[in-house]
């Protein structure tokens, strides 16, 4: 057996050493490693044996101290590449456990993607008697900046797809207490923000304060804000996950005692940690939903009243504190024992120079905010957007975000497009296509919270734009917004919005047409439908930003096409038309429920587009709503999907579609719209109207 394995692995090794290293992770020679089985107990034993030899001193093991004392990048020319120390993953993990910051950093980088593959390759190389190891790659970018990466065992890359960066920075005294470092940095960031950015709002009146706050001076107690003296009221808010275990909450049975005293030792760890931060930061009050909103299971009246004020509660906070990785209220903020280190500071005093190196993963701050357990929670997404500034505590360190700045550790970092959703002046509207796209991926314990958990952001948007809100959509530019599609096709949830609203279903959603702000990329857009009316009915009869119990969209069009289902591929239905051989794919909104029901296509928009650089010729696109009849009423439909003929999203059934074929398909569909569409529309419409542009057939979508 070993002889056969040796022969197979020698063939694998030859292919591995010859494979292009820049995209090696995606190759079968790496993906197939998942079939190997490692002896985890033996690996753990080896790591424990290596731990004493790590010789960690002043936060670095012996090998990393030697590497940093004679940093190879200092001798490189700009864009020159070299190799640093050899890396054995078991040795790195041993030193990491002993407290080496550099090894913790490298182990964190490996753990995010390929630690298992590295270990399997190490085992294969050892079996074959090959002593090659992984290594540190270094490339000098400028006089004080460089890129680093971890080379695959036995390989060497010059332009790796994933990297981290280093820079020489001003040296300052280091507080050995990690929590103390966090709060010291946070205080400095907030002072800078107060003096330069003015992100924190000022108290403007009693109506903008939460109904209740927790006073953290001289013990803990609940206070009603009506009892506070007039003037600025500085308070923090908390974003966190409750989890499934029960814990102490505010109720009618304890509200009077809470007004006198809240027993700190009875609170779960996350709440205690948040209160400790607020106390040390000198913020006199904190708002925590579990302790400031009555949570009685048989009476939701207080929750209903307070939940619609989240834009005021979080928008008026001095600081929002987020426990990003805690999956329950008992886990707390500070996971110092198992922290993944995505940035660290290294001091040096050599070559007649003294200073410090700062190492960081290039997307560390983004991942600390976005790639976390808390970020999957719909309520937390709203809280992040509404708060003027938020500090994030997680297993990757601490990040800070305000309307002007983003920081990770003590390094200010640039914003990327995902982060830029937050960084807006208070009077500038959000890019709603990004808001909707990101929010559609968030998770909720109760599906009925889908619209309430977005209501604060929607209210803020309305205050700026004055537009009419329609369950996640806006009346202005509605025709283009209606052309959304699902990336994930899931079962249709219990009714919470009309089918024409993306909020009606679960799963990641994308607007497929540029929204009005980006229309410069499209040319000669033609609208085949006109919105005559659109409304939603608030559940409470008053608040349009909360849950809804009904809604309709009334459209006028010159055409309606009846489609014949000819097949189903994954999440799509392939349809044809009786007078044509053309076949098109309809992307479904939810899992197909009524496949036997006829599908109708209501054309919405056709346009020609080109890429921003003008690299490709202008190409046609057509979008239409896929509908099925809704009940016996004539002209009433429900949305089930979207038809797209576009070069940018060619489906698997026609992946070889060329430009000429695309244009031919668009021309044929336009012909059907013009020749057959009016007859079908006349037969199926709710009513007709006079219209000079031909949009005389009226349809209602529920």
- Per-residue pLDDT of 76-94, as tens digits, reads 788 888 888 899 999 999 9
pLDDT at 511 over 80: yes
* Residues 316, 199 share a domain: yes
Could you give the 3-state DSSP secondary structure of residue 632?
coil
* Residues 162, 202 share a domain: no
Tell me the average pLDDT across 656-660: 56
CB 112 within 8 A of CB 77: no
- 643 lies in a domain? yes
pLDDT at 207 over 70: no
* Residues 211, 158 share a domain: no
Exposed, middle or buried by CB within 10 Å (0-12, 13-18, 19+), for 184?
middle
- 19 lies in a domain? yes
Question: Which residues, including other chains, have CB under 8 Å from residue 299's CB and lie 6 or more apart?
Answer: 252
* Residues 142, 205 share a domain: no
Inter-CA distances, 465 with 417, 422, 549, Å: 22, 17, 25
pLDDT at 396 over 80: no
* Residues 203, 165 share a domain: no
Question: Which residues, including other chains, have CB under 8 Å from residue 470's CB and lie 6 or more apart?
Answer: 478, 501, 534, 535, 536, 551
Which of the listed residues 370, 396, 428 is the one where a domain comes to its end? 428
pLDDT at 597: 82
Please name the helix (run of DSSP H) or strand (run of DSSP E) that holds residue 105, with its range, or none: helix 101-111
Tell me the average pLDDT across 501-528: 76
Rg (CA), the chain: 30
Residue with more model confidence, 32 or 367: 32
pLDDT at 277: 92
- 443 lies in a domain? no
pLDDT at 467: 97
Positive or negative, the CA dihedral 256, 259, 263, 268 is positive
pLDDT at 614: 57
Six token digits for residue 672 = 């059907």
Q: Percent of the chain, pLDDT > 70? A: 78
Distance of CA 597 to the CA centre of its chain: 36
- 618 lies in a domain? yes
pLDDT at 519 over 50: no
Q: Which domain holds residue 95?
A: 2-169
Backbone angles phi, psi at 688, to 5 degrees: -120, 165
- 453 lies in a domain? no
Residue with more model confidence, 513 or 28: 28
pLDDT at 412 over 60: no
Tell me the average pLDDT across 389-402: 80
**Where does the pLDDT of residue 365 fall: very low under 50, low under 70, confident under 90, or very high at 90 and above?**
low
* Residues 615, 570 share a domain: yes
CA distance 90 to 97: 11
Which of the listed residues 169, 194, 215 is the one where a domain comes to its end? 169
CA angle at residue 520 from 696 to 657, to 5 degrees?
A: 75
Top mean-pLDDT range of 24-33, 97-106, 261-270, 617-626 = 261-270
CA distance 242 to 293: 14
Which of the listed residues 412, 428, 444 is the one where a domain comes to its end? 428
pLDDT at 666: 82
pLDDT at 372: 66
CB 588 within 8 A of CB 574: no
- 438 lies in a domain? no
Tell me the average pLDDT across 560-586: 71
pLDDT at 386: 87
pLDDT at 243: 86
- 351 lies in a domain? no
Question: Which residues, including other chains, have CB under 8 Å from residue 578's CB and lie 6 or more apart?
Answer: 562, 564, 676
Q: Which residue from 24, 134, 16 is spatially nearest to 84, judged by alpha carbons?
A: 134
Encode pLDDT of 523-538 as tens digits. Answer: 678 899 999 999 999 9
Residue with more model confidence, 399 or 504: 504
Top mean-pLDDT range of 395-404, 524-533, 611-620 = 524-533
Q: What is the mean pLDDT of the chain?
A: 82
Indicate the DSSP class of residue 91: H
**Where does the pLDDT of residue 611 fall: very low under 50, low under 70, confident under 90, or very high at 90 and above?**
low
Backbone dihedral region of 149: left (phi > 0), alpha (psi from -120 to 50 degrees) or beta?
A: beta
**Where does the pLDDT of residue 654 fall: very low under 50, low under 70, confident under 90, or very high at 90 and above?**
very low
Backbone dihedral region of 510: left (phi > 0), alpha (psi from -120 to 50 degrees) or beta?
A: beta
Q: What is the DSSP string of 43-104?
A: HHHHHHHHGGGG--BTTB-HHHHHHHHT-GGGGPPTT-EEEEEEE-HHHHHHHHHTT-HHHH
pLDDT at 105: 82
* Residues 485, 414 share a domain: no
Please name the helix (run of DSSP H) or strand (run of DSSP E) that holds residue 346, with its range, or none: strand 343-350
Residue with more model confidence, 105 or 14: 14
* Residues 614, 545 share a domain: yes
Tell me the average pLDDT across 418-438: 75
pLDDT at 522 over 60: no
CA distance 92 to 101: 10
Inter-CA distances, 497 with 96, 378, 479, Å: 50, 17, 18
CB 528 within 8 A of CB 558: yes
Could you give the 3-state DSSP secondary structure of residue 152?
coil
Count of beta carbons in the 10 Å neighbourhood of residue 632: 6
CA distance 119 to 670: 57
Q: Rounded to 5, what percent of the chain is helix, strand, coil? A: 35, 25, 40
* Residues 392, 493 share a domain: no
Question: Which residues, including other chains, have CB under 8 Å from residue 348's CB and lie 6 or more apart?
Answer: 68, 69, 71, 354, 355, 356, 357
CB 187 within 8 A of CB 178: no
pLDDT at 173: 46
- 457 lies in a domain? no
Which of these ranges, 48-62, 197-211, 457-471, 548-562, has the smallest mean pLDDT? 197-211
pLDDT at 107: 87
* Residues 578, 487 share a domain: yes
The residue with tokens 């890019």 is 431
Which of these ranges, 121-135, 287-301, 461-475, 501-515, has the smallest mean pLDDT? 501-515
Top mean-pLDDT range of 21-35, 266-280, 608-622, 658-672 = 266-280
Q: How many separate domains does the chain show?
A: 3
Distance of CA 209 to the CA centre of its chain: 29
Could you give the 3-state DSSP secondary structure of residue 465?
helix
pLDDT at 172 over 70: no
Encode pLDDT of 457-469 as tens digits. Answer: 899 899 999 999 9
Q: Which residue from 673, 658, 566 is spatially nearest to 619, judged by alpha carbons?
A: 658
* Residues 255, 146 share a domain: no
pLDDT at 300: 85
Tell me the average pLDDT across 27-43: 89
* Residues 203, 164 share a domain: no
Tell me the average pLDDT across 410-415: 50
**Where does the pLDDT of residue 608 fall: very low under 50, low under 70, confident under 90, or very high at 90 and above?**
confident
């Amino acid at each position: 057996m070993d002889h056969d394995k040796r022969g197979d692995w020698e063939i694998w090794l030859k292919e591995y050493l010859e494979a292009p290293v820049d995209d090696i992770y995606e190759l079968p020679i790496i993906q197939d490693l998942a079939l190997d089985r490692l002896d985890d107990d033996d690996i753990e034993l080896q790591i424990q044996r290596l731990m004493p030899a790590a010789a960690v001193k002043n936060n670095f093991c012996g090998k990393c101290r030697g590497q940093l004392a004679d940093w190879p990048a200092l001798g490189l020319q700009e864009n020159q590449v070299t190799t640093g120390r050899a890396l054995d993953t078991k040795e790195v993990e041993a030193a990491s456990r002993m407290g080496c910051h550099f090894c913790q950093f490298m182990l964190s980088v490996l753990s995010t993607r390929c630690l298992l593959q590295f270990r399997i390759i190490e085992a294969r190389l050892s079996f074959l008697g090959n002593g090659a190891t992984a290594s540190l790659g270094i490339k000098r970018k400028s006089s004080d900046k460089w890129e680093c990466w971890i080379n695959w065992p036995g390989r060497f890359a010059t332009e790796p797809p994933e990297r981290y960066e280093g820079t020489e920075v001003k040296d300052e005294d280091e507080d050995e207490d990690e929590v103390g470092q966090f709060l010291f940095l946070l205080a400095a960031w907030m002072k800078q923000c107060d003096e330069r950015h003015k992100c924190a709002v000022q108290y403007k009146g009693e109506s903008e304060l939460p109904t209740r706050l927790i006073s953290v001076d001289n013990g803990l107690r609940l206070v009603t804000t009506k009892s506070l003296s007039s003037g600025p009221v500085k308070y923090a808010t908390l974003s966190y996950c409750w989890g499934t275990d029960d814990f102490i909450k505010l109720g009618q049975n304890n509200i009077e005692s809470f007004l006198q005293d809240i027993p700190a030792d009875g609170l779960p760890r996350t709440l205690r940690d948040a209160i400790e931060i607020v106390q040390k930061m000198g913020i006199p009050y904190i708002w925590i939903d579990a302790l400031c909103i009555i949570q009685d299971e048989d009476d939701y009246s207080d929750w209903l009243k307070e939940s619609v004020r989240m834009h005021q509660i979080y928008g008026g906070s001095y600081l929002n504190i987020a426990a990003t990785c805690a999956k329950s209220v008992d886990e707390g903020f500070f996971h110092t024992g198992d922290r993944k280190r995505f940035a660290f500071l290294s001091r040096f005093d050599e070559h007649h120079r003294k200073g410090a190196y700062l190492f960081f993963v290039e997307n560390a701050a983004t991942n600390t905010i976005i790639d976390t357990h808390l970020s999957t929670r719909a309520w937390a997404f709203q809280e992040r957007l509404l708060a003027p500034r938020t500090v994030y505590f997680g297993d990757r360190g601490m990040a800070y975000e305000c309307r002007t700045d983003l920081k990770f550790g003590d390094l200010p970092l640039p914003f990327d497009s995902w982060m830029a959703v937050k960084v807006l002046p208070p009077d500038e509207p959000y890019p709603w296509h990004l808001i909707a796209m990101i929010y559609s991926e968030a998770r909720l314990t109760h599906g009925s919270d889908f619209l309430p958990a977005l209501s604060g952001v929607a209210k803020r948007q309305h205050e700026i734009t004055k537009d009419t809100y329609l369950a996640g959509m806006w009346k202005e530019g509605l025709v283009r917004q209606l052309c959304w599609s699902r990336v994930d096709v899931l079962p249709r949830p219990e009714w919470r919005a009309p089918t024409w609203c993306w909020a009606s279903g679960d799963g990641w959603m994308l607007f497929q047409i540029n929204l009005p702000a980006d229309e410069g990329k499209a040319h000669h857009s033609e609208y085949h439908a006109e919105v005559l009316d659109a409304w939603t009915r608030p559940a409470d009869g008053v608040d349009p930003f909360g849950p809804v119990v009904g809604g309709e969209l009334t459209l006028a069009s010159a055409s309606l096409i009846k489609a014949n289902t000819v097949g189903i591929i994954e999440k799509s239905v392939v349809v044809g038309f009786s007078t044509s051989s053309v076949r098109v794919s309809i992307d479904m909104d939810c899992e197909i429920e009524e496949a036997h029901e006829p599908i109708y296509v209501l054309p919405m928009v056709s346009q020609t587009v080109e890429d921003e650089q003008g690299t490709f010729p202008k190409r046609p696109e057509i979008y239409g709503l896929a509908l099925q009849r809704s009940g016996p009423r004539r002209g009433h439909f429900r949305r089930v999907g979207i038809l797209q003929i576009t070069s940018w999203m060619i489906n698997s059934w026609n992946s070889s579609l060329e430009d000429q074929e695309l244009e031919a398909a668009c021309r044929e569909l336009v012909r059907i719209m013009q020749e057959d569409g009016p007859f079908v529309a006349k037969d199926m419409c709710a009513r007709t109207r006079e219209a000079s542009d031909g949009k005389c057939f009226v349809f209602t979508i529920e």
